Amino acid sequence: MGREGLAHSVGLKDTINTSAIFSKYEHVFTPMNVKLLKALLNASTLESTRRKNLLLYDYLVSCHIGNQLKELSDKANNYETSATIKVGGKSVPYRQAAVLVMNQPDRKKRQQITELVKKPKATLTKLNEEALEQEYALLKQLTGKDYVGYYEFVKGMKYDRFADDLRKFLIDTQGIYTGRLNEILAEMKIPIDDARKHDLGYYNRAHKFDRYFPKNKLLLTLKKTLAGMGFNLDRQKNIHVDASERPNKVPRAFCSTLIVPQEIHLVLKPHGGQEDYQTILHEAGHSEHFANTRDDMDYEFKHMGAHSVSESYAFLFEYLLLDPNWLQTYINMPAKAEREFLQFLWTNKLFFLRRYAGKIVYEVKLHRNDLRKLDEDWKPMREKYASAADMYADIFSRAICVKCEGVDYLIDVDSGFYSADYLKAWMFEVQIRKVLKERFGPTWFTNKKAGAFLKDLWQFGSSGMTQDELAQRIGYDKVDKRYLIEELLEAFEAH
């Protein structure tokens, strides 16, 4: 499956045929085998065996559902790649519309494209509705659990409690966020009441910093950064770097872990700009994590579960861009531009954190079909939203504080609460970075001992240790959101 997806994404294969692979192996993920594994899971006495069985159980359940929904998901994928809209008489692929909007300085034109994509989005949403209904039913049938209950079980999470924490986060950061937002909108000459999601998209694209992040220095900057920590990308034979230009290669960098730790693919299509640098560092974080996983770990621990662990290391590298010391070492920016850039990037980070906090609040309610409206403190009231789409529009408009519409109410949903994994990674990343600075100084990223420290964490792969256990390994009690909030408040005071 990984190889098929990789060939398609790097532009070596036009079509993707996962259906055939699912069919070939459907004898593996039968309901009978799911039941057998559940019995094994219940009978596991050793903690490590229990964890492995849980990972395998979740894997079989998701494959069984994936197999049942393969036609529907192929249909949605094919529709998404083939749908077009007409912009100014020209036909534009639906998938490129978001990039067009982000790069469009003219507000009216941004709004126009936003209206045009509503039609293909509605078609996609119909398919998503059907898929989600089937997924709910299949989960219930196979596991006896509803959507939220199932993911709480396999991921060891309490999503209601997590959503409560995030409601508090939204309240705690409301003041610093809207303060900055008002400044940005005033600069853009957009009345606050009229601001839209696409206005923030354009702001986040940040054209004015492009010249400091040129396309031709991207790979070199990455290699130098890694070398500083003692990783020589040219000599790491288990990381295959693919930087070739191919017309159908996906524009966004990604990491594909075909065999951990022997065969990791780091794929990029450099186009420059700060976001491209962020993304490549992020994906390099994943790549180094899996490339440095111990080979003698069990397959389940190397390959399955706990996205939040790997995302923590990916964020650690990504947010090097927020470090003035890194900027001074690797990017040559005049002091004034650096100040502006840091202010931009902190705002950008808070924007994403609030968006994802809103996502959790929304996704828990969506999957529970809990349409109760939320009051000013994000607490449920008796009154109800007219639809899930209305609920989406309200929650996201309040999280990012500009007007959002309900059209994305199923398109903008992360399967299996991946959004919570990101948030947990955002929290743990700050904790790792804090220890790195304490032990190796403010320029820790130029210290090979910092690399060795990270390798010690990376050896456990995805799931050999939980995120909380890793936090304990470096001196904390557990993953704690406190550090993230403290750092944000400090940063907004300084910038």
Cα separation, 253 vs 263, whole angstroms: 17
Contact window for Zn ion (CB under 5 A) among 89-97, 192-200, 307-315, 428-436: 307-315
Cα separation, 192 vs 181, whole angstroms: 9
* Assigned token pair, 458: 């990376």
Question: Three-state SS string across 48-72, please?
Answer: HHHHHHHHHHHHHHHHHHHHHCHHH
Contact window for Zn ion (CB under 5 A) among 20-28, 74-82, 314-322, 413-421: 314-322
For the bound state, the minimum distance from the C-beta of residue 39 to Zn ion, rounded and expressed in Å, comes to 34
The residue at minimum Cβ distance from Zn ion is 314
Task: Give the nearer residue to Zn ion in terms of CB position, either 38 or 349.
Answer: 349
- The Cα-based distances of 72 to 37, 63, 462 in angstroms read 27, 14, 30
Task: Give the nearer residue to Zn ion in terms of CB position, either 311 or 487.
Answer: 311
For the bound state, the minimum distance from the C-beta of residue 260 to Zn ion, rounded and expressed in Å, comes to 15
Contact window for Zn ion (CB under 5 A) among 20-28, 46-54, 197-205, 310-318: 310-318
For the bound state, the minimum distance from the C-beta of residue 369 to Zn ion, rounded and expressed in Å, comes to 30
Say if residues 96 and 116 touch (Cβ distance below 8 Å). no
Task: Give the nearer residue to Zn ion in terms of CB position, either 130 or 414.
Answer: 414
Contact window for Zn ion (CB under 5 A) among 160-168, 215-223, 272-280, 309-317: 309-317
Q: Indicate the DSSP class of residue 495.
A: -
Task: Give the nearer residue to Zn ion in terms of CB position, either 249 or 286.
Answer: 286
* Assigned token pair, 61: 């359940």
CA 154, distance to chain mean position in Å, is: 19
Task: Give the nearer residue to Zn ion in terms of CB position, either 242 or 311.
Answer: 311
For the bound state, the minimum distance from the C-beta of residue 283 to Zn ion, rounded and expressed in Å, comes to 7
Question: Three-class SS of residue 182?
Answer: helix
> 241 pairs with which residues across the strands?
266
Task: Give the nearer residue to Zn ion in terms of CB position, either 68 or 312.
Answer: 312
> 257 pairs with which residues across the strands?
264
Q: Is residue 76 near Zn ion by the rule CB under 5 A?
A: no
# chain residues binding Zn ion, by CB under 5 A: 2
Amino acid type, 346: W
Cα separation, 218 vs 224, whole angstroms: 10
Contact window for Zn ion (CB under 5 A) among 189-197, 232-240, 303-311, 328-336: 303-311
* Binding residues for Zn ion restricted to 424-453, rule: CB under 5 A: none
For the bound state, the minimum distance from the C-beta of residue 429 to Zn ion, rounded and expressed in Å, comes to 11
Q: Is residue 314 near Zn ion by the rule CB under 5 A?
A: yes
For the bound state, the minimum distance from the C-beta of residue 311 to Zn ion, rounded and expressed in Å, comes to 5
Task: Give the nearer residue to Zn ion in terms of CB position, either 199 or 288.
Answer: 288
**Beta pairing, strands 90-93 & 84-87:** antiparallel
Say if residues 283 and 253 touch (Cβ distance below 8 Å). yes
Longest CA span, the chain: 66
Task: Give the nearer residue to Zn ion in terms of CB position, either 116 or 425.
Answer: 425
Amino acid type, 327: L
Residues 255-284, one symbol each (x = binds Zn ion by CB under 5 A, - = not), give ------------------------------
Contact window for Zn ion (CB under 5 A) among 142-150, 311-319, 350-358, 398-406: 311-319
Q: What share of the chain is helix, strand, coil (3-state, %, to 5)?
A: 65, 5, 25
Say if residues 289 and 313 touch (Cβ distance below 8 Å). yes
* Assigned token pair, 385: 């939203």
For the bound state, the minimum distance from the C-beta of residue 286 to Zn ion, rounded and expressed in Å, comes to 6
Task: Give the nearer residue to Zn ion in terms of CB position, either 97 or 425.
Answer: 425
Binding site for Zn ion (CB under 5 A): 311, 314
